[in-house]
Amino acid sequence: MRGRTLPITVVTGAQVHRPIAVRGSCSGVEYLIRPARITDIDRLASIGRASITGSGRGSLDAADLLRQLVYLPHASVLVAEARRELVGGALLVLRPSVVAGGYVGTIDLLVIAPDHDADRVTDALLEELLRSASNKGCSAVEAAQPSDPADLARLERAGFAPAGPMLRRSVAAAGSAARRT
């Protein structure tokens, strides 16, 4: 079965999204994108340990802060699973913005386990983060510009564009006229 392309289905919640092809695999893999649970936080923090450690100077441990954010309405903590194993996660936090004309979502954390396909997992997580931002009334979503060219390419493929030191992507808020067209 070498070189054969098989469909992979990206599942978000209970909804199935576009199939993605993978080469050299004998069986399909499903990525389940779902809201994080408290029991997911330690694994999520261990996946992101390299990007989380030392980057912040706050008083809270990253895992403790993520546990609090799981229950807050102004944050979306999502995880990606493959075969019941956590393979990645993302955090979207909301802030009000007079300049943007509503809420702005910020992707504060986006981590993928090193032994999984970063492109497919990132695409699935970003798709669900953008849907969540739209449903929460965001007029834009921004992310810090990554230093890794591959990470930058993934964000640009999802529609993000440089906006100063940040990358920014507009989204249509749920119920807005722009979303209906």
Q: What is the pLDDT of residue 28?
A: 55
Q: What is the DSSP letter of 25?
A: -
For the chain (181 residues), the mean pLDDT of every run of 10, in chain order, is 34 41 46 94 86 56 88 94 93 93 92 90 95 94 91 93 82 71 57
Cα–Cα distance measured from residue 91 to residue 177, given in angstroms and rounded to the nearest whole number: 27
User: Among 3.40.50.300, 3.30.2010.10, 3.40.630.30, 3.30.450.20, what is the CATH number of 32-180?
Assistant: 3.40.630.30
Q: Side chain identity at 104, as an amino acid letter?
A: V
Instruction: Please provide the size of the chain in residues.
Output: 181
Q: What is the pLDDT of residue 101?
A: 86
Q: How distant, in Å, are the alpha carbons of 46, 65, 138 from that of 59?
A: 19, 10, 28
Q: What is the pLDDT of residue 15?
A: 41
Sole residue written with tokens 């102004």: 74
